[in-house]
Amino acid sequence: MDWDEAKAKPLSGHTVGEPLDTLSKADLETRLQSLESEIARLKTELDKKKAHEAAASELFTGKS
């Protein structure tokens, strides 16, 4: 991790499946933005792990 890289802010009080009708539009937009950022972070990490796995497979088996 780069020291200059900002740490992701934890999602405060978000629970999957919770009622959303009490949240304001601003709260919903903020939460959506946070979740989209977290999804992007998860996809990046998954891609790294897949690439590592493929490289290891290639190294040990000569196949991808």
Segments making up each domain of the chain, as ranges: 24-64
This prediction has a pTM of 0.66
In DSSP notation, the chain reads --TTSPPPPP-TT--TT---TTS-HHHHHHHHHHHHHHHHHHHHHHHHHHHHHHHHHHHHHS--
Section 30-59 average pLDDT: 95
> Per-residue pLDDT tens for 12-31?
668 889 999 999 999 999 99
pLDDT category at 53 given cuts 50, 70, 90 is: very high
Section 23-48 average pLDDT: 96
- pLDDT number for residue 5: 63
